[in-house]
Amino acid sequence: MKKISLLAAALTLALAPAAFAQGHGHGGKGPNGGPMQDVVGIEAELIVTGQKLTVYLYAEDGKPVPATGYTGSVLAGAGQARQIVPLTTATENTLTGAAGAVIPQGTQITLQLKNPAGKSGQAKF
């Protein structure tokens, strides 16, 4: 029993840095069913439908954050299959953009946001 406890503790310590290296995101699902990550002090939910990308902005308490003053872009894909998609304000708490081609499910996506105060950050989905 002692060996199992020691092994579990060792694995936890070994895997902890990898978990923290992914960023501050809580990794849960947002109100629209998309993955959520922390970026520049807010929660960003990403929805990808075909070529369309939508980023919903929320405060930590779940209330919508006005998108006015936020700018951003998305890097979708890896290697030579990368697409950079600029995001623009769409509705009260959303930024949207359209890629040049359909973004397949499971594509690596990096979101870069800049808040109205000029602070920028990234989140990986």
Q: Summarize pLDDT for 104-116 with one digit per residue, the tens.
A: 988 999 999 999 9
- Whether residue 108 is contained in a domain is answered as yes
- Whether residue 14 is contained in a domain is answered as no
Mean of the per-residue pLDDT values of the chain: 82
- Whether residue 11 is contained in a domain is answered as no
- Whether residue 15 is contained in a domain is answered as no
pLDDT band at 98 (very low <50, low <70, confident <90, very high): very high
Residue 44's domain comprises 24-124
**CATH code assigned at 65:** 2.60.40
Q: What is the pLDDT of residue 79?
A: 75
How far from 53 is each of 8, 71, 74, CA to CA, in Å? 40, 14, 8
Say if residues 125 and 48 touch (Cβ distance below 8 Å): no
Q: Please name the residues in contact with 97: beta carbons below 8 A apart, sequence gap of 6 or more.
A: 52, 53, 73, 74, 85, 86, 87, 88
Q: What is the pLDDT of residue 123?
A: 97
Q: What is the pLDDT of residue 26?
A: 55
Indicate the pTM of the whole model: 0.76
Could you read off the pLDDT of 28-68 as tens digits, one per residue? 899 999 999 999 999 999 999 999 999 999 999 999 999 99
Is residue 73 predicted with pLDDT exceeding 80? yes
DSSP 30-43: -TTSSBEEEETTEE
Distance, CA of 55 to CA of 45 (rounded, Å): 5
Domains identified in the chain, total number: 1
- Whether residue 19 is contained in a domain is answered as no
